[in-house]
């Protein structure tokens, strides 16, 4: 994984032509719900998650100079570069401690990969995030001799999730991020994307974000960590860095994994209170940023909502015609 990772998206025209070749993973199964109301809410939420964000996010394409389409962002494909993420656990129960297992399969042989290059002290990084971006887990599973990875997980909300495997096969020039869908069964309650704010509170810590995520160009993001109002100047190395940042695009959950500018022991990078990153958004739209940092022996995660290219304009208020309810005539949802 690179210090500054740039990713861009396909053109809408190319996506229309080769849509099936560049799918965003397996179709998510319906989530079991205790009542019809939550089942209907889940259906609406899942349908909405496949649409583009207002302002161009969620998979709208761009084309590079010369008419050549750029590669897809990470995490949108189950198979890429000759490798496939085989998620063996596709459904779990909400709140239940369940073993999540998977393998990385080399397509040319059909066999599980058993040799990896270590990146940031681990052979593989596993990210699990809910489709509404309100639940996030950064995990490090255990690999068996046959190449099967496993780790116990307990997820607090029912609904659709995306599982990301971030790894580099041994001998490969670059790493890959593959994604697959996970269903968490239980009563489902849809949630809005948290509003954009420059600060995040986690335990006794306050993390402040400075800088803007920009589409198509690199920009510096600085995150300042304080505890009880005082700067934290003794952040601890975590996986070989003072911080790890993952960005997920709202809608399709395109994945961007970047690491800080500098590293512990390089003679110039301080152990806080500021951690600096350089990142490029693949498109305009809403993103959720997740910062992992370690202090006093514990890893914590601070989350932010940001808008690359500026926040979308507020919708104009509308007045319903007499006799029409909020969802249209007949009380339906307009599908």
Per-residue pLDDT of the chain (335 residues; tens, 9 = 90+): 444 433 333 333 333 333 333 333 333 333 333 333 333 333 333 333 333 333 333 443 444 434 444 568 899 999 999 999 999 999 999 999 999 999 999 999 999 999 999 988 899 999 999 999 999 999 999 999 999 999 999 999 999 999 999 999 999 989 999 999 999 999 999 899 999 999 999 999 999 999 999 998 899 999 999 999 999 999 999 988 999 999 999 999 999 877 679 989 999 999 999 999 999 999 999 999 999 999 999 999 999 999 998 776 544 433 333 333 333 333 333 33
pLDDT for res 78: 97
pLDDT for res 326: 32
Q: Enter the pTM of the model.
A: 0.74
Q: Cβ distance 190 to 40 under 8 Å?
A: no
Q: Which residue's structure tokens are 């994994």?
A: 257
Domains in the chain, start-ordered, CATH in brackets? 4-185 (2.60.40.10), 199-308 (2.60.40.10)
Residues 6+ apart with CB under 8 A from 3: 258, 259, 260, 261, 278
Alpha carbon 201 to its chain's center: 20
271 closest CA partner among 295, 300, 289, 298: 295
pLDDT for res 52: 35
pLDDT for res 56: 36
Alpha carbon 214 to its chain's center: 17
Q: Cβ distance 283 to 55 under 8 Å?
A: no
């Amino acid at each position: 994984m690179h210090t500054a990772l740039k990713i861009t998206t396909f053109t809408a025209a190319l996506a229309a032509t080769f849509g099936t070749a560049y799918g965003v993973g397996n179709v998510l199964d319906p989530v079991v719900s205790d009542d019809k109301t939550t089942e209907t809410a889940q259906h609406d939420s899942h349908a909405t998650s496949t649409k583009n964000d207002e302002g161009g996010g969620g998979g709208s394409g761009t084309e590079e100079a010369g008419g050549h389409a750029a590669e897809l962002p990470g995490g949108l494909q189950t198979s890429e570069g000759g490798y496939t993420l085989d998620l063996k656990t596709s459904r779990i129960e909400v709140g239940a401690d369940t073993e999540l297992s998977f393998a990385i399969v080399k397509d040319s042989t059909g066999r599980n990969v058993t040799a990896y290059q270590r990146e940031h002290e681990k052979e593989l990084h596993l990210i699990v995030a809910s489709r509404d971006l309100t639940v996030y887990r950064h995990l490090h599973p255990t690999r068996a001799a046959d190449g099967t990875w496993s780790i116990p997980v307990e997820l607090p909300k029912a609904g659709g999730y995306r599982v990301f495997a971030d790894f580099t096969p041994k001998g490969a020039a670059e790493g890959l991020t593959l994604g697959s869908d996970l269903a968490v069964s239980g009563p489902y309650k849809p949630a809005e994307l948290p509003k954009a704010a420059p600060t995040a509170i986690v335990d006794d810590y306050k993390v402040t974000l400075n800088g803007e995520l920009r589409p198509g160009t690199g920009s510096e993001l600085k995150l300042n960590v304080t505890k009880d109002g005082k700067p934290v100047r003794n952040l601890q190395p975590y996986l070989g860095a003072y911080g790890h940042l993952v960005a997920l695009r709202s809608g399709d959950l395109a994945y961007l994994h970047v690491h800080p500018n500098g590293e512990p022991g390089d003679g110039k990078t301080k152990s806080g209170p500021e951690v600096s990153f350089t990142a490029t958004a693949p498109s305009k739209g809403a993103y959720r940023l997740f910062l992992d940092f370690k202090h006093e022996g514990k890893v914590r995660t601070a989350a932010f909502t940001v808008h690359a290219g500026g926040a979308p304009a507020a919708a104009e208020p509308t007045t319903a015609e007499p006799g029409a309810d909020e969802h249209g005539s007949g009380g339906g949802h307009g599908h």
